[in-house]
Structure 1
C-alpha cells in the first residue's frame, strides 16, 4: 500500500508516514459508517450481544493488558488476511493497530538519528508493511514479530546514519554527534563484533528494550519460557563482560549460571 506522505503547508507532522496512517485510521473511525470487525474473533473479550465492533473499539481491546495473547493472535491473523486480500483500508487498520508500539520505536530511535524524522518513520512503516505481507500467521505472537521487524529496521537506519556521519566528517578529532551509548546501538555493536549472535541480540532487545514478555518470546521461538530465560542470562553475561572490558566467558563456562535470574 502506498501512503501519501507529502508535507502540507499546515504541519510538518504530515510528512511522517506514521502521522499519515493515524490520520487515515481516524477517518475510518469517525465516518458516518465506521469500519467494523467481526466481534467473534475477540472471543470472551467481545462485548456482549455485539456482532461487530468498530476498528476504534478493536484497537482499544487489543491494547488492553487483560486481552489474552491467543485472542490477539486470532485478531491479528484475520487482520493480516484482510490486508493481503483487500489491502486499502485494512492495511491502514493493521498498521494503526500497532501504532502505539511503532510510535514508541520511532521516539526511542529519534534521539539517535541525525536525519529527517520522517525518513526514520518511513523505514519503520516500510519494514512493518513488508513483514505484514510475508509473516507466518500460523505461528503465535504475530504482533511481537511484526513489531520486532520494525524495531530492527529502525536500528539499521540509525546505525547506517551514524556510520555515514562518522565517515563523512572531516573533523576526525571531534567526538561523534550521535549518542553511541544508546542501548540498541550497543547491542548492534556487540553483534558486529561477535560478542552476541544476531538471535541473542534480538532476544535481549525484544525482552529488555521492547517490553516483549519472556512468555511471548518463548512462543515466538517455539521453546519454553525457562529456556529463553537461560539463553538470555548467558547472552547478557557475555555482554556485561564485554562492556566491562573483561574476558568474554564461553558458553560452557556459563552453564553454572543456569539457576540465576
Structure 2
C-alpha cells in the first residue's frame, strides 16, 4: 500500500544555532505532550499488554522503548500510527516521527559516520516517505521504517556529496596515544569512551580550544561550512551529555590535565 505523506510537516521547525533538527523536532513533540489534550492512542483497543487507557504519544514513545514491550504491542501501535499518518493529518505525521525519535537518533549517529551533508533533514524526509509505503501487514513495522529511511537517506547523501568519503578516515582520525599531544584530556577520554570520534575531537579542539573558526577548519578538511557546523553541534551535544552524566569522570586525569594546561599550555597542543 502507498499513500501520500506531506513533506512539509516540519517546514516551520527551525533549529536554534546550538541544536540539530532532531532536537528541534523533539522539543516540539514533547511540547505537544504538555497540552491538556495531548495526541494519544487508545491502549485498550491496541491490547497486547499496553495500558488500558488513553496513552499520550510522548508516553507511548517511552513505552515502546522499554524492554518489556512485546514486538506484538509495538507492531499494533505502529500500524495505528502509520495508518493515521497516511490520512495526511500533520499532527499524526509529527506524532509518528516523534515516537520514532530514539530510533532516528541512532540511525542519524550511524549516518554521520558514513555520509556528509544534512543528515537529520535527509533522514526525516526519507522516514516520511517510508510512512507512505511501508507494508504494515508484515511484522517489525518500525524497524523496516527506520531501515528504509536510513538506506535511502544514505544513498541520497552520497549522491549529493560524492567525495564525502574521502574525509571519513583521515590519517589523523585515531585515538591519541597520550593526552599530552591533545589540547584537552576530556576529549581524549571522550574518544576512548566512544562518545565522539577522533575526527570530532579534532574539530572541537581546533574550533573551541585553538584559534581556528568553523570556516577555516572546513576549508582545511575539504568540506562545506554547514557540514562541519552541524557535525560539531552534534558532537558537542553528545560530549556535554556525557560530561553531565559523569561518564567521562576521571579524577586522576583531571588533576593531570589541570596541572598540564596551567603550567605548560603549549605542550598540550598538537
TM-score by length of 1: 0.56
Aligned to 2:11: 4
TM superposition outliers: structure 1 runs of 4+ over 4 Å: 5-8
Aligned to 1:62: 64
SS in structure 2 opposite 1:32?
A: coil
Change (3 A) 1:64 1:6: closer
Which of structures 1 and 2 has the larger relative contact order (alpha carbons within 8 angstroms, sep 6+)?
A: 2
Aligned ranges for residues 204-215 of structure 1 at < 5 Å?
none
Change (3 A) 1:85 1:5: closer
1:39 paired to 2:38: no
Aligned to 1:222: none
CA distance in 1 between counterparts of 2:131 and 2:86 reads 8
CA distance in 2 between counterparts of 1:12 and 1:157 reads 25
Aligned to 2:148: 149
CA distance in 2 between counterparts of 1:153 and 1:5 reads 24
1:13 paired to 2:32: no
Aligned to 2:169: 179
- List runs of 5+ in structure 2 lacking aligned partners: 1-5, 171-270
Change (3 A) 1:67 1:165: closer
Aligned ranges for residues 107-146 of structure 1 at < 5 Å?
107-115=109-117, 119-146=118-145
Aligned ranges for residues 150-229 of structure 1 at < 5 Å?
150-160=149-159, 163-165=162-164, 176-179=166-169
Please tell me the root mean square deviation across aligned C-alpha atoms, in Å: 2.5
CA distance in 1 between counterparts of 2:48 and 2:111 reads 37
CA deviation map 1:149-179 (0-9, x unaligned): 111023214433552457xxxxxxxxx3223
Change (3 A) 1:165 1:152: closer
CA distance in 1 between counterparts of 2:157 and 2:86 reads 29
**Alignment: residue pair count:** 164
